[in-house]
Amino acid sequence: MGQGKKAGISPTRSEDFPAWFQSVVRDAEVAELDHVRGAMVIRPWGYGIWELMQRAMDEKIKASGADNAYFPLLIPLSYLEDEAKHVEGFAKEMAVVTHHRLEKDADGALIPAGELTEPLVVRPTSETIIGRSFAKWINSYRDLPLLVNQWANVVRWELRPRVLLRTTEFLWQEGHTAHADEAEAREKTSEMLEVYRAFAEEVIAVPVLTGEKPESERFPGAVSSLSIEAMMQDGKALQAGTSHYLGTNFSEAMGIEFTDAEGKDRRAHTTSWGSSTRLMGALVMTHADDNGLRLPPRIAPQQVMIVPITRDDPAAVEQAAEELAAELRGLEAQGAPLRVKVDTRDRKPAEKRWEWIRKGAPVVVELGERDIESGVVTATRRTDPDLGREQIGRDEAAGRIAEIVDAMQGECLAEAAERLAARTADDITGVEAFREYFSGDDTDSGGFVRAPWSEDPATEKTMGELGVSVRCIPFDQNLAEGAVCVISGAPAKVEAVLAKAY
């Protein structure tokens, strides 16, 4: 362990995983719940991570052919009435705007005034608004496919809010597409799930399973819901992106119709797909440790933080630090120029080193007068569990640091993939072994069970009593002939992934 004020995360992962998560998010200055119950402030360091995630996701979405657009935040109640008629399981927890003015009452206190004739709902998702715009824009088969994405904030009134995972307001992208036929729409649904899978693994180094949701976990109104599922360090699953084939259900409700090449009127087949700031929760619970956050380099706002250790001649040391920074910025990691900053703030070097370790900068470099004299720099690699100081000759420093940063992306993914493999059990048979596997608490939530499943809703009730659910029917099915359901012992229809989940 290095010298200087070490400020590890309290409690540790093994002491209390949920409390550890909250501490990391707070101490790494990623985000905080504040101001309104369940509302989240994303702090500059956290938002820097989100911007890099957003940019990488946006590139992939644009490459899929979708254009960005923006639709209104406030939805007329009548739109939701129409949806409620068509959609079972319609969610009802949402923020409702009923007035459009503030007035002072007799005591001078502000009160709502100007009651609206029709209340407005703050969008929890935008199918109802975007679908109606689609209905207006689409006339002929020549207007199809229509592929639109929106980056936006949405509000869902969460009863048990949790930073990054379940907040009243969150940021997301929601894609909406309309197609002439089912095959094309289903293909788009799969294509966008693949975008999410690639993003999770390549960009945030979170390995995921891909598959279809069981009927009980389908998006209300969807014919089929696909998802990516990641495993957190406590063994729980986190759904990190979903892609829905909506059939003609929403087209019917909103009148999305077109004239085909033969002049016949037909309903469009639609899809929707979304991913959110929840991905940052996945990032933290996958990569953080008891010293704080660890950031895969592709989404680290700064990949190398240089801390000058100044005593007699601060200007000379800072200049040497800036020279190293400039050299590093000329090099690349993961296909982009290195992001490097010299931390010249008026604080103690040890304090700064620990701050950047806690915030997850991939490499922290210290550079003092003695280092300059000896022709070395001192680097701390965030993936070194001991956080030891590595001395590197000044001449080879930039190249070596770039290599370390470049390699760290793969190290992060490999470590998480190893955990996912190690904590996925495919040999659980019978409900007793199943119960035993999931007998831990919130700090040890078991892991994933891959097992034959009957698809009988009664088995989901049994699982539910243990806090377990069917996360997905994975695409890579491996069901032995004659296999029986892990819960009921009845003939299995599919292989399913079962786990506790966020």
Q: How far is the CB of 65 from its own copies (least distance, A)?
A: 11
Q: Which amino acid is it at 229?
A: E
Token pair of 252, please?
A: 């019917």
Residue of 24, 25, 57, 171 that binds its own copies (CB under 8 A): 171
From residue 237, give the alpha-carbon distance in Å to each of 285, 391, 411, 487.
Answer: 11, 39, 21, 19
Decide: 412 and 294 in contact? Cβ < 8 Å: yes
Residue of 11, 18, 119, 430 that binds its own copies (CB under 8 A): 119
From residue 156, give the alpha-carbon distance in Å to each of 100, 171, 217.
Answer: 21, 11, 18
Gyration radius from the chain CA atoms: 26
Q: How far is the CB of 69 from its own copies (least distance, A)?
A: 5
Q: How far is the CB of 41 from its own copies (least distance, A)?
A: 5
Q: Which amino acid is it at 463?
A: M
Residue of 347, 348, 370, 461 that binds its own copies (CB under 8 A): 347
Token pair of 382, please?
A: 């965030």
**Gap between the Cα atoms of 47 and 39, Å rounded:** 15
**Gap between the Cα atoms of 458 and 202, Å rounded:** 38
Q: How far is the CB of 380 from its own copies (least distance, A)?
A: 23
Residue of 10, 14, 15, 34 that binds its own copies (CB under 8 A): 34
**Gap between the Cα atoms of 150 and 72, Å rounded:** 11
Between 46 and 214, CB nearer to its own copies: 46
Token pair of 59, please?
A: 């590139």
451: phi then psi, degrees, rounded to nearest 5: -155, 155
Q: Does 345 interact with its own copies (rule: CB under 8 A)?
A: yes
- The residues, any chain, with a CB within 8 Å of residue 355's CB and separated by 6 or more, are none
CA-based angle 385:386:391, to the nearest 5?
115
Q: How far is the CB of 173 from its own copies (least distance, A)?
A: 13
* Strand, helix or coil for residue 392: strand
* 391 DSSP β-pair partners: 378
Residue of 24, 28, 53, 75 that binds its own copies (CB under 8 A): 75
Q: Does 157 interact with its own copies (rule: CB under 8 A)?
A: yes
Q: How far is the CB of 172 from its own copies (least distance, A)?
A: 12
Q: Does 122 interact with its own copies (rule: CB under 8 A)?
A: yes
Q: How far is the CB of 184 from its own copies (least distance, A)?
A: 16
Token pair of 421, please?
A: 């493999």
Q: Does 326 interact with its own copies (rule: CB under 8 A)?
A: no
Between 67 and 332, CB nearer to its own copies: 67
* 155 DSSP β-pair partners: 169
Binders of its own copies among 50-69, rule CB under 8 A?
50-51, 67-69
Q: How far is the CB of 145 from its own copies (least distance, A)?
A: 12
Q: How far is the CB of 168 from its own copies (least distance, A)?
A: 8
Q: Does 294 interact with its own copies (rule: CB under 8 A)?
A: no
Range in contact with its own copies (rule: CB under 8 A) among 42-50, 233-241, 317-325, 441-449: 42-50
Three-state SS across 275-317?
EECHHHHHHHHHHCECCECCCCHHHCCCCEEEEEECCCCHHHH
Q: Does 72 interact with its own copies (rule: CB under 8 A)?
A: yes
Between 44 and 464, CB nearer to its own copies: 44
Q: Does 99 interact with its own copies (rule: CB under 8 A)?
A: yes
The residues binding its own copies (CB under 8 A) are 34-36, 39-44, 46-48, 50-51, 67-77, 79-81, 84, 92-104, 109-110, 112, 114, 119-122, 129, 132-133, 136, 142, 148, 152-153, 155, 157, 168-169, 171, 345-347
